[in-house]
Structure 1
């Protein structure tokens, strides 16, 4: 049986850890490695694509990183519950003509008991930017621990632990 710690039910600490592990994997731009974090029958919504299963998710990622060059991503915890995590994210990339973009979005994740993601629903918007407007400058790969996150860069509102599971 495959497992992918940390496992649900999530705490604040393990939800933050799960988000960072996902960010690190996606920044590897290795579709086969990233796909291993998802169940065999994973269900995605990613822009206008709706991959069903790990293999279709892997294929989507292959196409993505052929098109989105010099991809650098930051994810930040938005909310969590026992087996669900919501994140906001931003990533910067350019196309083969050298046009830069910052893509913003939100993802809702649901995990099985083994810590594999069974559902991933992403909403993503692309904003053209000039090269001098870029904010993500680390070498390709994992974001350094001392690089600012989205909240520090003014690109997302930080998670507020006091608001978790509070009554309206």
Structure 2
């Protein structure tokens, strides 16, 4: 790849066109290296966490959840937004308690990733959650998830068979499988 083709885009103008509870959408006018202008539609997203909650028997918790954007029920690892001044670890523990009724006593950061940097600044952290103990918090009012316990090997097969198509979940399962030598 030729380095001279990679250039910074200078923002000339930025206009917020939507400011919601979870996202903000803005349109930036940028100046390109050839002195022309272009528009960039950017989704600003709150910080997010997710976790591969794994038992001593190498079973992981997935949640089944309806997602309107794809209009179907999909499998995901527990995940959610970081609230206020909450640390990433506090958010991951809370999400585990809300979605699967388990509190991880050990959290290890596996990876951080941009979800889709072509249009959003969203970053999510994926944790490996172990030493689980039962501890249930109420789910968010608009959240309906069903926890499912799946052997890590089977989850890996679900990825390979396209039963799991959520990117953070695929990333988490692959990292966990590698960590456990699968």
TM-score for both structures, normalised by structure 2: 0.27
TM-score by length of 1: 0.28
Q: Quick check: which one's strand share is greater?
A: 2
Higher relative contact order, chain-length normalized (CA < 8 Å, sep 6+): 1
Question: Which of the pair has more CA radius of gyration?
Answer: 2
